[in-house]
Amino acid sequence: MDDNNNGLKIYTENLNLFYGDIHALKEVNIEVEEKKVTALIGPSGCGKSTFLKTLNRMNDLIPAVRITGDVYLDSLNVYRQYDIVELRKRIGMVFQKPNPFPMSVYDNIAYGPRIHGVRSKSKLDEIVYRSLTNAALWNEVKDRLRQNALGLSGGQQQRLCIARVLAVEPEVVLMDEPTSALDPISTLKIEDLIDELKGKYTIVIVTHNMQQAGRISDKTAFFLHGEIVEYNDTEKIFSRPNDKRTEDYITGRFG
Amino acid sequence: MTTTRHYFDKELEALHLQLIKMGSLVEESIENTILALKKQDVELARKIFWNDDVIDGMEQKIEKMCLNLIARQQPLAGDLRTISTALKIITDMERIADHSADIAEITIRMANEKYIKPLIDIPRMAELAKQMVNKAIDAFIRQDMGLAREVCRSDDAVDDLFSRIVLELINIVKNDPETIEQVINFMFIAKYLERMADHATNIGEWVVFNVTGEHAHLARHENKDDRINNPFVKNTIGDG
């Protein structure tokens, strides 16, 4: 870990991404602060999810994707100076739909650590306990650790997926619309969880729900047509945005 | 069921703390303004001006907190009423502090004059007004309707004192027209104190709105004719 990163965990320099001829991200420059929640908002197709995936190289496998510019994690180039396994261990990801593995609650959490070579039962027990506790799920599942995870409710499944990410001790957690498939109460539980997690992790979250960005994030970036229109403290974005387009979007007057 | 929205609750608590802080500054300013008036302490009176800027600053700070909570947390139902109530009551609190500053200003103007009468009912009014502010803020924090109603009832006592003071002042000026300037000054002071109590009453009424979602006028002149046929004017003119 670089101690001289001035509180920056991730930053990009003139990042461009093309899907074939389509210029999906245009000259994106952003600085993501360590142990803060950064929200990416914008209309469908604005590039926010695409951008999120550039951070842990999830676009690598998509044919016809071409990327120029640079992404840095702890001042090291994500595309040139990281082994992808190491990168994905340090940057975990949670997706829109809860996607537990079709196995027990316990094995879902232990899956990552086992791959990374943890064999000791007591060590795995401890990781499972800690991860589920940190994901605010332990009390609800402690008596059903051996049951299939697919039997949990949607909100519980999503917290399980967050616990599964936490089990490999990442530094950054990317979330791509993590609550859009959940009911309001499960959503608020995840939001509370995010608020607790930010003490330890750097969180970048894409959300269609801009009220959610307002509730949970420290910084907000507004994307439009592949560009960042405005990036500022969330408080500022939601009370006095600088750009007219940001104001139009957050007040629902867009287009 | 585990409770959610810890963040919002935390922010609400921070808002409460700021309101309590502003409330105690307002109380302090009432207390000091009467102390300065009683002792003809010009320095203390000047301090109250400073204090007023601090209180104005707090009003703005709390207003910003409220707007932020509305913008970022989408409060609904009782939560929404709590935030709008906070927004309304800080205006009343700020106005109370303004009246403290108004009284301080008169104190400075009268600093070198011997008072035409010993101050008894005016400090009493101030003490009542101060207690009303204290209870009103407390009622808001605890969402205590009983306490809010108590505040509103106290307003009658303040109004009675106000009438008494005005009567007394009218008699003084009738006996000695030379006293007119001080009489007018004390009349203003009494009126400012009476307004302070009205603002505290407003806060109490906002608390009731906060809890029930409905406005209710809880005090003040059930019979408006009483005000129009203002008894002290009638009596004294008749006696004169």
Rounded Cα–Cα distance for residues A179 and A175 (Å): 9
- pLDDT at A252 (0 to 100): 84
Residue B5, pLDDT > 80, answer no
Number of H helices, E strands in chain B: 8, 0
Rounded Cα–Cα distance for residues A101 and A250 (Å): 36
With an 8 Å Cβ cutoff, is A215 touching chain B? Answer: yes
DSSP string, B35-60: HHHHHT-HHHHHHHHHHHHHHHHHHH
B residues 66..95 contacting A (CB < 8 A)? 67-68, 71-74
Q: Do B6 and A195 touch (CB under 8 A)?
A: yes
Residue with tokens 């070579």: A117
- pLDDT at A210 (0 to 100): 87
Sequence-separated (6 or more) residues with CB below 8 Å from residue A221: A30, A38, A39, A40, A41, A48, A228, A230, A231
Q: Do A215 and B72 touch (CB under 8 A)?
A: yes
> What average pLDDT does range B96-108 have in this prediction?
95
Q: Do B74 and A215 touch (CB under 8 A)?
A: yes
Handedness of CA A101, A103, A107, A113 (dihedral sign): negative
The single-letter DSSP state of residue B76 is -
Nearest CA in chain A to B6: A192
β-bridge mates for residue A32, sequence order: A10
- pLDDT at B239 (0 to 100): 40
Could you tell me the CA-to-CA distances from B147 to B143, B154, B160, B189 in Å, in that order?
9, 11, 21, 27
In angstroms, the separation between the Cα of residue A191 and the nearest Cα of chain B is 8
For residue B6, the chain A residues in CB contact (below 8 A) are: 192, 195
For residue A239, the chain B residues in CB contact (below 8 A) are: 67-68, 71
- pLDDT at B234 (0 to 100): 44
Q: Do B71 and A188 touch (CB under 8 A)?
A: no
DSSP string, B136-204: HHHHHHHT-HHHHHHHHHHHHHHHHHHHHHHHHHHHHHHH-GGGHHHHHHHHHHHHHHHHHHHHHHHHH
Contact (Cβ atoms closer than 8 angstroms) between residue A239 and residue A61: no
With an 8 Å Cβ cutoff, is A192 touching chain B? Answer: yes
Residue with tokens 């094995």: A107
With an 8 Å Cβ cutoff, is A120 touching chain B? Answer: no
Nearest CA in chain A to B65: A235
- pLDDT at A143 (0 to 100): 96
With an 8 Å Cβ cutoff, is A216 touching chain B? Answer: yes
Say how many C-beta atoms besides its own lie within 10 A of residue A149's C-beta: 24
With an 8 Å Cβ cutoff, is B60 touching chain A? Answer: no
For residue A185, the chain B residues in CB contact (below 8 A) are: 4
H or E stretch covering A28: strand A22-28
Nearest CA in chain A to B2: A189
Sequence-separated (6 or more) residues with CB below 8 Å from residue A43: A224, A249, A254
- pLDDT at B225 (0 to 100): 58
Nearest CA in chain B to A137: B2
Q: Do A185 and B4 touch (CB under 8 A)?
A: yes
For residue A214, the chain B residues in CB contact (below 8 A) are: 71-74
A–B interface: beta-carbon pairs under 8 A: 35
User: What's the order of all strands across the beta sheet hosting A172-176?
Assistant: A91-94, A172-176, A202-206, A37-41, A219-224, A227-233
- pLDDT at B226 (0 to 100): 58
Rounded Cα–Cα distance for residues B40 and B43 (Å): 9
Chunk chain A into consecutive blocks of 10 residues (it has 255) and report each block's average pLDDT, rounded to whole numbers: 71 95 96 97 93 93 92 94 92 94 97 93 96 92 96 94 94 94 86 90 94 94 96 94 93 76
State whether residue B216 is helix, strand or coil.
Answer: coil
With CA atoms as reference, report the closest residue to A175 among A155, A202, A154, A148.
A202
- pLDDT at B3 (0 to 100): 63
Query: And the tokens for A150?
Result: 């697919």
Residue with tokens 């003119």: B237
Predicted confidence (pLDDT) per residue in B136-194, tens digit = 989 998 999 999 999 999 999 999 999 999 999 999 999 999 999 999 999 999 999 99
- pLDDT at A2 (0 to 100): 46
Rounded Cα–Cα distance for residues A71 and A60 (Å): 14
Residue B1, pLDDT > 90, answer no
> What average pLDDT does range B61-67 have in this prediction?
96
Predicted confidence (pLDDT) per residue in B210-230, tens digit = 999 988 776 555 555 555 555
Q: Do A214 and B72 touch (CB under 8 A)?
A: yes
Contact (Cβ atoms closer than 8 angstroms) between residue B55 and residue B94: yes
Contact (Cβ atoms closer than 8 angstroms) between residue A128 and residue A145: yes
In angstroms, the separation between the Cα of residue B72 and the nearest Cα of chain A is 4
For residue B4, the chain A residues in CB contact (below 8 A) are: 185, 188-189, 191-192
> What average pLDDT does range B71-90 have in this prediction?
92
With an 8 Å Cβ cutoff, is A218 touching chain B? Answer: no
